[in-house]
Amino acid sequence: MVEVTNAPTEIPGPVDLIVVGGPTHAFSMTRESTRDAFRQGAAQGSTTFGVREWLEQLHRGKHVERVATFDTKADKVRHLPGSAAKGAANIAHRLGYKTAVKPMSFYVQGVCGPVLDGELDRAQAWGEGLGKASR
Domains of the chain: 4-133 (3.40.50)
Angle of CA points 34, 37, 39, to nearest 5°: 100
Q: Is the pLDDT of residue 88 over 90?
A: yes
pLDDT-based confidence at 38, cuts 50/70/90? Answer: low
Q: Is the pLDDT of residue 44 over 70?
A: no
Type of residue numbered 10:
E
Judge contact between 39 and 111, C-beta under 8 A. Answer: no
Q: Is the pLDDT of residue 27 over 90?
A: no
Which of 45-49, 55-59, 83-87 comes out lowest in average pLDDT? 45-49
How far is residue 78 from each of residues 11, 65, 75, 86, 93, measured CA to CA in Å? Answer: 33, 31, 5, 15, 25
Judge contact between 25 and 35, C-beta under 8 A. Answer: yes
Q: Is the dihedral of CA 1, 34, 124, 94 positive or negative?
A: negative
Phi (first) and psi of residue 19, to 5 degrees: -110, 125
Q: Is the pLDDT of residue 52 over 90?
A: no
Task: Determine which helix (DSSP H) or strand (DSSP E) holds 41, and give its type and residue range.
Answer: none
pTM, whole model, 2 decimals? 0.84
Which of 6-10, 34-38, 54-58, 81-85 comes out lowest in average pLDDT? 34-38
Which of 10-19, 44-53, 116-125 comes out lowest in average pLDDT? 44-53
Taking 3-state DSSP, the helix, strand and coil percentages for the chain, each rounded to the nearest 5, stand at: 30, 20, 45
